[in-house]
Structure 1
């Protein structure tokens, strides 16, 4: 005989299914009943189906529960009503939100004392089937595909990414850092990336964060052809993004081996190292199997921060990783320009505490539309890249590196001698000019492109100054 408590809990499950506007999965119900274990949910659902109160459709991971006959009713919303035509206050002002996203916003902005502590739900990840499940509804995905089209679909991977690299370095480095509280302005970021000028009134950690983003983005674009969504790739991204920013340098690129807390949240991530690795592998395998690049990007934006595989810098890592499938398909990047930091935090809280993605989905739609607009204008005005610079980009980079690492030799002689062994005679002079141009524009912000360390560049620069001074004194 059912006790009063079990009857009440079963009633919660029944009401959740009957109130849903569309068939719901057991994962959906788990988010609405976070204190109920999966096995209990399954038992109550089975009883309700047997009693004819609800219906079950589909099979396996596609099982859904609904009102008898498939009839639907308006979804219950816990979001407060707002008079029509009035502006939504707060960080989402001006950002269109669907009713389900409004509901998530209301739930995550309740006082923390009113939100129940929750842990990592591995079943939410396990239930996702690439190619069959979807975090983005078809209507949103269709809209995003229209926005993402750069006209480069038939070009080699990352052709578009390489053409817009300089703009992407500035936009994504600045916007992603801004979401973490970095106070660099976009102009400050441009000065740092293009000229190596450090903003004197900013913290060193802020400068480091910008340069780390730059290094990670350059690495991604440079190696986009061979990069795959593996643990090794993700750890490389994290190593570049976290350099000199973590309390323990050993944590750079290393999977988390201790518990972490999420500030301002009731969510507690996994704390068993072996389970963290297992779930990360599952995330990356499922992401790789997702046929749609945009769904894959959103999947990474959701599941990497939710797992928290590293002690810190997880969201930054997810934002870089999410752009990898987009650039590999020559789609418009997602730069997060103008995304309000608090709006992003609340959207991620919806994932952490409710395993609900609607708020992040609508924020993504709004942000991607802005990125697509900006980069669409850039595409229309973009000049074709120098074909010789593109063809000999690796040769030129090796020459620049060789010159810096051999400061005693004359750069002109070294470059000309080496290039004559690698470049056809017809291309020799223009490639020589391109190489010398790269050397003239070399500064501490571009060193990562050539695999150089700051100390190597400083030593080379100082020896050039001494040589110029010596030559001037001798009249040479």
Structure 2
């Protein structure tokens, strides 16, 4: 059985207990707000633990001995996550949505560059990939927006979400925060289509980055799509465990 067949089996089983609403919906949303914020920030070097992330998001407290930036990244990501859920029923992902998401995440870190395309070229360590020049970004992002509208139904929802992440992070439109924004819009695509989040634990950072580089340097998207599919499947299994849904893959 392929990973996509497993995902579709789980998706069907979870869909049978939908809709999630009321207290249950809030519980699930809050549960993954902490997990996604912590993991996405940790991949980028944020030093807060998952317990400290919970304290920041739920109590609004700073953590003694931790950089203030780590606090701002956590609060900002939580706000961007909340905005992501306001778009759950839209099945749209526009340039303006992406800018808003980045602005919410980044405004307390660097207000001048929050939600604004970068004005300088970038070089990312670990890859020889040449990112678009600043003057090319607006056109590339509008092209991506059109791709979302025209191609979304031509892919499995999990594959589409993974490809959206790859395309966005390879444009690298912001001066900073592109990785976190790419994971947010990927997960937005997933929840809009009724799928679970893809949460990437920091321990898998080398594999995550390697599969991105395979796309950027060799044009191979399959390794990354498979990697993301595995992460969605893990979340599905966790949801099924939390909701006491039998897992039958026979």
TM-score, structure 1 length as denominator? Answer: 0.46
Match of 2:105 in 1: 241
For the pair shown, which has the larger CA radius of gyration, 1 or 2?
1
Q: Distance in 2 between matches of 1:199 and 1:148?
A: 38
Match of 1:208 in 2: 72
Q: Distance in 2 between matches of 1:153 and 1:220?
A: 24
> Contact 1:157–1:329 at 8 Å: present in 2 too?
no
The 3 A distance-change label for structure 1 pair 309 and 157 is farther
2:217 to 329, 353, 374: 353
SS for the counterpart of 2:126 is: coil
Is 1:178 aligned to residue 42 of structure 2? Answer: yes
Is 1:265 aligned to residue 98 of structure 2? Answer: no
Q: Distance in 2 between matches of 1:157 and 1:187?
A: 26
The 3 A distance-change label for structure 1 pair 328 and 158 is farther
SS for the counterpart of 1:340 is: helix
The 3 A distance-change label for structure 1 pair 252 and 186 is same
> Contact 2:41–2:73 at 8 Å: present in 1 too?
yes
Structure 2, gaps ≥5 residues long:
246-250
Counterparts of residues 52-71 of structure 1 (less than 5 Å): none
> Contact 2:40–2:180 at 8 Å: present in 1 too?
yes
SS for the counterpart of 1:164 is: helix
Match of 1:370 in 2: 234
Match of 2:5 in 1: 142
Q: Distance in 2 between matches of 1:301 and 1:271?
A: 19
> Contact 2:116–2:174 at 8 Å: present in 1 too?
yes
Q: CA deviation at 1:162?
A: 4.6
The 3 A distance-change label for structure 1 pair 158 and 145 is farther
Match of 2:248 in 1: none
SS for the counterpart of 1:267 is: coil
The 3 A distance-change label for structure 1 pair 206 and 272 is closer
| Number of equivalences | 241
> Contact 2:158–2:190 at 8 Å: present in 1 too?
yes
The 3 A distance-change label for structure 1 pair 187 and 157 is closer
Q: CA deviation at 1:338?
A: 5.4
> Contact 1:157–1:330 at 8 Å: present in 2 too?
no
Is 1:285 aligned to residue 173 of structure 2? Answer: no
The 3 A distance-change label for structure 1 pair 148 and 265 is same
1:152 to 15, 18, 26: 15
